[in-house]
Structure 1
Amino acid sequence: MSSFTLNGYGGLILLGALTTLLVALAAAAFGTVIGVLMAAAKLSQSRVLRQIAGAYTTTIRGVPDLLVIFLVYYGGSATLSHVMGRPIEINAFGAGALSLGFVFGAYATEIFRGAILEVPRGQIEAAAALGLSGTGSFVHVIAPQAWRLAVPAFGNQLTVLLKETALVSLVGLEDLMRRTGFAVEATNRPFFFYLVAGVVYFVLSYAMTNAFGSVRRRTSAALAR
């Protein structure tokens, strides 16, 4: 019974796994919005927007993810404290979701941009010939096809994001890694509990990979019809 309940820390680890999943989903949602906006900026006719989007992706992808987390967590806390005139500490969950969202968004930008560019030009011209506006063409013609093309890379990047959430434990988020650390300190069984954490990460990643595989098959089937 003790092994089954992980020496009484099974519930704690499951709660950490839930926190890990939630921060990954929050970061993915935020990063997806950024990715769509920055991809549109990179493909726009505005030189300023293209330069802003290019600077964002180049900067974020050129620095360690952990540094982005520290800058958002400590820099955000310092900025808010200065503005409010009193000490304010950003919530670790919020800082983690924002920072990882910024990182995810930089990669999502290139994924979406590449997918949009792969949509056949003839499809866009056909939409214009049917009288669709630029927005209508994007929503009804370009976006569905681009999403189908982006799903494999997007799913892979989401799996990477899930594993990167472990970095947020360094700013106090009680995710899977941090709660596993609590169990290790209390029981002095590092190999066992970190192995358990590895299995949990694998299960989450495997489930996410299968989910996006299903999405990819459905989008492909819908397009074929």
Structure 2
Amino acid sequence: MTYILHFLGFGQGGWGAALLVASGVTLALSVLGFLLGAVFGALSAGGRLSRRLVPAGLAKAYGTVFRGIPDLLTIYLLYYGGSIALTQIGKFFGSAGFVGLPTFATGVLAIGIISGAYQGEVYRGAYQAVDLGQFDACKALGLSGFQSLRLVVVPQLMRHALPGLGNVWQLVLKDSALISVIGLVELMRQAQIGAGSTREPFIFYIAAAGLYFVIAVVTASVFRYGEARAWRGMVHA
């Protein structure tokens, strides 16, 4: 036990502080990517629900592509494709050498795009679960389209969406580990560095698994609380 604490402690030679900082990076990356995905998901759901051919087609293509190709491939395409574009722009203005995209920003964007494809389906299903009588009531009250969404539809939509969003969040948390492939030092990458430096992979990967588990449990409880609060006073199947 003392041997393990030596590596995971906060004293000299310990990696505890580095692992906690990396856990904070993982949490920030996941939260920002999930929130960006909510924007992409809302736009995707709106397109899928549209009666216009172009928005519906674009939204369907977006969801099909980014739910179909491997998440790791999406990350690589964004990072290296964006870096190549930046390098060419830099050369145009006289800069020499490779210009890489910021890894954290690229990770947030990649997770946002990937999770948005899943969140779009969650929002679309939740919208269709709202009772049609609610839309008739909005018309009877003379509410505008925006007022209907803000005051009536979205609050009820979120009741149905929260369980699905909780599942998407767990996917986001796991996908955050993939961002290590472009050099971001988040929890998985920090565990790899510690394992390679000390030649104690089992200790560091078990520690990383424990930290991921803590983050998952705490954040899942937030979604459960939100779901319970959204359905408070309501009878549902």
Using the size of structure 2 for normalisation, the TM-score is 0.91
Divergent runs of 4+, >4 A: none
Match of 1:125 in 2: 136
**Candidates 64, 67, 72, aligned match of 2:73:** 67
Contact 1:57 1:109 in 2 (8 A): yes
Aligned to 2:58: 52
Deviations, residues 148-190 of structure 1 (Å, cap 9, x unaligned): 1000110111011101111000110000011111111121111
Is the contact between residue 180 and residue 193 of structure 1 (CA under 8 Å) also seen in structure 2?
Answer: yes
Matches within 5 A, 1:131-146: 131-146=142-157
CA distance in 2, matches of 1:146, 1:4: 47
Structure 2 residue 100 is matched with structure 1 residue 89: yes
Identity, in percent, stands at 37
Secondary structure in structure 2 of the residue aligned to 1:221:
coil
1:43 equivalent in structure 2: 49
Contact 2:4 2:203 in 1 (8 A): no
Pairs within 5 Å for 1:1-20: 3-4=4-5, 6=8, 8-20=14-26
- The count of residues paired between Structure 1 and Structure 2 equals 224
Aligned match for 2:162, one of 131, 151, 171: 151
8 Å CA contact retained: 1:2, 1:8: no
8 Å CA contact 1:60, 1:103 repeated in 2: yes
Aligned to 1:28: 34
8 Å CA contact 2:23–2:211 kept in 1: the answer is: yes
Match of 1:185 in 2: 196
How far did residue 192 of structure 1 move?
A: 1.2
2:181 alignment partner in structure 1: 170
The CA deviation at 1:79 is: 1.0
Find out whether 1:99 has 2:110 as its counterpart: yes
- Asked if residue 76 in structure 1 is aligned to residue 87 in structure 2, the reply is no
- Secondary structure of 1:4 counterpart: helix
Change (3 A) 1:81 1:207: same
Match of 2:232, SS state, is helix
Shift of 1:203: 0.6
SS at match of 1:155: helix
Shift of 1:124: 0.5
Cα distance in 1, alignment partners of residues 38 and 175 from structure 2: 16
Which amino acid in the other structure matches residue 211 of structure 2? V
Cα distance in 1 between the residues matched to 2:84 and 2:149: 41
RMSD value over aligned CA atoms? 1.4
Tell me the alpha carbon deviations over residues 105-144 of structure 1, each in whole angstroms, 9 at most, x when there is no partner.
0000000000001101011111111111111111111100
Higher RCO (CA-CA < 8 Å; seq separation 6+): 1
> Which stretches in structure 1 are left out of the alignment for 5+ residues?
none
Larger displacement relative to structure 2 (81-90 or 188-197): 81-90
Secondary structure of 1:131's aligned partner: coil
Deviates more, 1:213-222 or 1:117-126: 213-222
Match for 1:19: what amino acid? V
Aligned-residue offset at 1:45:
2.1
In structure 1, the partner of 2:124 is: 113
